[in-house]
Amino acid sequence: MISYPIVEDTNEDSHIVQGDIQVPLTFAEHELINEVLLQAVNSFDFACPYGMFDLPIDSEIVQRYTMLENLRERFNILWSDRFTPVTEN
């Protein structure tokens, strides 16, 4: 059995650079991320179909759901940008 060290930190973000990151993705990786985000949003919708709207806006569940929705939308826009418009000659 593998034993991993347990690290306790009173400020969990104290050692993380919190700037934006860039991750180049291949076509296949981008397709996979789109599918994963769609499944994550669908899972939230299945698990909390009505109760989420009763939660306060600062609830962690609402915040994560909103983040997933926003990421999915951004990745969908990037996906559509991969196609070049067809021009008629």
Which string of DSSP letters, residue by residue, matches 52-87?
GGGS-TT-HHHHHHHHHHHHHHHHHHHHHHTSPPP-
The count of residues in the chain is: 89
* Sequence spans of domains, the chain: 27-81
27-58 tens-digit pLDDT: 999 999 999 999 999 988 888 777 777 888 88
Residue type at position 77: I
DSSP single-letter state for residue 28: H
Read off the pLDDT band of 19 (50, 70, 90): confident
Tokens of 85: 């418009």
The residue with greater pLDDT, 46 or 10, is: 46
Supply the pLDDT for residue 70: 92
